[in-house]
Each structure stands twice: as structure tokens, then as C-alpha cells.
Amino acid sequence: MTLIATTESRRLELPGRLGDPNRTLAEDRRADRRMVAALAALGLDREQPTPVSAFSPREELLAFVAEAEKGFQAVFGALLSTLEPVPGVSHETVTLAGADGNQISLYLHRPVRSAADRRALPCVVHFHGGGGVILSATEPCYARWRDELAAAGTVVVGVEFRNAGGALGNHPYPAGLSDCASAVRWVSSSKRDLGARNVIVSGESGGGNLSLAVALKAKRDGWLDALAGVYAMAPQIASPWDKPADLPSQSENDGYFISCALLGVMGAVYDSSGETAEDPLCWPSRASGDDLTGLPPHVISVNELDPLRDEGIAYQRRLVQRGVSAVGRTVNGTVHGAEVFLAAALPDVSAATIRDIHGFAASL
């Protein structure tokens, strides 16, 4: 009887849904209460149903992600509606030709400076979230994120890459990665005109995947010298077709703002056939040791209450094992990508990540 009680006690002490499969985000004592209140106001403090699966017909998946895109747009808009515009930032749009004959829009954000200030600044090329499937660089939350980075003292370039679904779809992998690579190479070749001295890539969620994949592609294709570093946030990098089982966060944080079911659907739309499940440019967690060796410095930032947390941690550890400068960072008490869309509720958390990205880029 004592053994049973002890075993039960230990089980209940485990974090999140490892301790209680029915635990909600609102009931998790680790969760930042400001975040919980903001999400609860929109009914997002509890798991949301996903009516399709990764194995549903593609037509059904595309219809679902199109509606999901509208939902995320509404949520992000509501969460950031009280924030004032970021002052002191200039904006410009540039269009370049993609490798597939398509047009890629780039959104340039730069701090307003005096004519006498001609210092070259670090440059961040930003890839937005959405699993490579939905959302746009023009979303207010991403435009604001780039403004915040620019105000901190960086040149920022947002990339409007092709999505696998939603309003900018139907363009599964490798279309989005191709656009991101084209953008980075253009920015690198245009540093003088942009007032930039180096180039790092950064993004969250699907944008985190693209950030890591761009570095892998740059090495494979022989233009790694264009890239000074990588700052990936909450990266979604393991294929839904063969996701490793030894990632406790998948169970621990499942349904906390996002679910493994939703991530599986997004992954199935991005990698439409599953034939590229072993391709590290599609799913960077599949990168070999040789793929990782010689990459530029990385920061892998994850959120404590994210189902994807352990994917990022595992990748950072593998980079270190291959001799790459790779710093791991965990943002405690927060859900997936919270720094970007919960800036109103968590201004200190958001500001800390902005400072860290700028500091990383400036250090290289």
C-alpha cells in the first residue's frame, strides 16, 4: 500500500499533463498568470479540438488550415490591439525574383537615424510562424515584432515566402524554403545598400524550422559565408510522419495553446506526401552530424509550456556535440511563441527576447 501511494505521489508530481492527463493550461502552476488571463479572455486557456488528422484527405486539410489561419489572425489581432505603434522605425518594400520565377516581397524595417550616423548595423532576416503553412509577413504581430527589433538597433527584413496552405498556398515544401534562401542571399549581397554589416536569420515555430533549414541549405549549396548566425524560436523541426517518441514535452504540454494534433496537421500540409520525412532541409531534426558540423553560431530559444520544447532542446545539444557554438534558452511559464503575440500581456518577456536577438546579432 505504501509503494502504491509513493508511486502515485511521484506520478502526480510530474509536470503538466505527465502528472495529470486532464490538466489544463489554467491549472498548470508553472504558467505565467498574466498569460493565462489573456488567453482565457479568448477561451484559449483550454485545449481546442482539431477535427482532422494528418491522414485526412489533402482537400480537407487545406480547408481546415484556411479556417485556422483566420482564427489565428483574429486571436493575434485581439491580443495586440492595445499596443501603441513602435516609434522611430522606417519602412520599405522590395520585390525580388524567386528561384522558381515567382515574386518575393521583402519588408525592410530600419531605425530612423541622423544623417551623420552611418554605422553599419546587424541585420535580422525574419521568417514568420505558421508552420510554413499559414499566416503572412504582413500580419500586424509580425510587423510589430520586426519594428521592435529595428528599434533595438537592427536592420530587419521580413520575408513573404510561399505557404503550403492558407491564402498564400498551395505550395508545399520546398517552395517556402527556396524563397527564404533567395531572400537571405539577396540581403547578404545588398548589405552595403541596407546599412548592414552581417546577416542572421530568425523566426518562430515554422519560421524557426526555416531558420535552421536555411543554414543547412547554405552549407549544402556552398554559400554559408552569407550567414553569420541563426536564432531559432520554438522551432517545429520533427516530421509528423516519424516524430521521435523520446520528447516528453509532446505529452507534458499537449493542448497548451497548440496541440500535437494541430502540429501533425500542419506538418502533413507542409510535407504533403511524407516522402521528405528524412530530408533535413524539410525537417532539421533529421540532420546528420556532418550536416551540423561547421555551422555558424546558433541560439535555440524554446518555451517551457510548448509541446515543441524538447525538439529544440535536442537540436541545440546536437549542435554543441558537433562543435557549433549553440546557446539554449528556455522562456519559463510561456506557451509556444508567446513572446511574439503576447507582447501586451508579457511586455517584459517579449522585450527580453528582443534584447537577446539584437545582442546575439550585434556580437557576431
8 Å CB contact between 326 and 304: no
Cα separation, 299 vs 232, in Å, equals 6
Judged by DSSP in three states, 301 sits in: strand
**pLDDT value at position 316?**
98
The C-alpha cell that represents 162 in the structure block: 510561399
Q: What is the pLDDT of residue 244?
A: 80
> 167: how many CB neighbours lie within 10 A of its CB?
12
CA dihedral 354, 356, 361, 364 (to 10 degrees): 170
pLDDT in the model for residue 1:
37
- 331-363 b/e with 16+ CB inside 10 Å = b? bebbbbbbbbbbbebbeebbeebbebbbebbee
Distance CA 25, CA 338 (A): 14
The cell numbers describing 116, all together, are 551623420
Task: Tell me what pLDDT residue 325 has.
Answer: 98
Instruction: Give the pLDDT of residue 241.
Output: 77
Quote the pLDDT of residue 240.
82
Closest to 64 in 3D by CA, of 76, 79, 48: 48
- For residue 3, give the 3-state DSSP assignment: helix
Judge contact between 193 and 110, C-beta under 8 A: no
Give CATH superfamily name and number for 74-363.
Alpha/Beta hydrolase fold, catalytic domain (3.40.50.1820)
The ranges of the chain with pLDDT < 50 are 1-6, 9, 11
Q: What is d(CA 256, CA 26) in angstroms, rounded to the nearest whole number?
A: 9
Omega within 30 of 0 (cis) for the link into 174 = yes
pTM of the entire predicted model: 0.95
Residue 242, pLDDT score:
75
User: Using an 8 Å Cβ cutoff, are 362 and 231 in contact?
Assistant: no
Domain residue ranges in the chain: 74-363
353: Cβ contacts below 8 Å, ≥ 6 apart: 233, 301, 331, 339
Amino acid at 340: V
